[in-house]
């Protein structure tokens, strides 16, 4: 698996250090509140596990299964909700976690859905933000790192279902695509 990586963009130690800081900010933001964390599957699984164990607040953890990439390296632009039942967020403060803010369509669609479900407040937290022009005006409230416009894998991010378990974020070799 490591042999398919052209370049490590953000190594494991740097990610873990940054999570300490991100967790502090999240804790400060929601101090005294009871929150529902909604993590988007499957990309946010590693991020969720490492971040939340650093946040000493009362919380419920929910996962939402959404798809927007459908296996390639370009966002399809369509966001599908794959769960039959959505988490109960009515009247609650929500921390929405995702692996990456790219076009913003995913977070935008999920935020709308959660608002429709009656969420009182929604803050977004992503590991990565792509530094690109977006049609959708959306900035994450908390973001770990800003990266360029390149397709990345690892630390939850996949290519055709693989590489999510890499402990770092990297760029694939052309031969692996």
| DSSP H stretches of helix in 96-155 | 105-116
Catalytic residue flag (residue 11): no
Decide whether 92 or 105 has the Cβ nearer to ligand XMP.
105
Q: How far is the CB of 33 from ligand XMP (least distance, A)?
A: 25
Q: Cα–Cα distances in Å, from 43 out to 47, 51, 95, 161?
A: 8, 14, 16, 10
Positions in the binding site for ligand XMP (CB under 6 A): 40, 43, 68-69, 75, 98-106, 151-153, 157-159
Decide whether 46 or 101 has the Cβ nearer to ligand XMP.
101
Active-site hit among 50, 99, 102, 108: 102
d(C-alpha 88, C-alpha 110), whole Å: 14
Decide whether 8 or 57 has the Cβ nearer to ligand XMP.
8
Q: How far is the CB of 49 from ligand XMP (least distance, A)?
A: 16
Strand partners, 98: 126
d(C-alpha 150, C-alpha 37), whole Å: 28
Catalytic residue numbers read 102
């Amino acid at each position: 698996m490591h042999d398919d990586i052209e370049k490590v963009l953000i190594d494991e130690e740097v990610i873990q250090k940054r999570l300490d800081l991100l967790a502090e900010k999240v804790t400060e933001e929601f101090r005294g509140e009871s929150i529902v964390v909604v993590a988007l599957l499957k990309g946010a699984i590693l991020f969720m596990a490492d971040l939340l164990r650093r946040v000493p607040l009362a919380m419920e953890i929910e996962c939402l299964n959404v798809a927007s990439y459908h296996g390639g390296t370009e966002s399809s632009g369509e966001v599908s909700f794959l769960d039959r039942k959505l988490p109960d967020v009515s009247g609650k403060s929500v921390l929405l976690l995702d692996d990456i803010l790219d076009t913003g369509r995913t977070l935008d669609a999920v935020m709308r859905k959660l608002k429709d479900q009656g969420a009182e407040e929604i803050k977004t937290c992503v590991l990565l933000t792509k530094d690109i022009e977006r049609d959708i005006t959306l900035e994450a409230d908390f973001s770990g790192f800003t990266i360029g416009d390149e397709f990345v894998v690892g630390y939850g991010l996949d290519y055709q279902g693989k590489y999510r378990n890499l402990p770092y974020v990297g760029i694939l070799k052309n031969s692996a695509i």
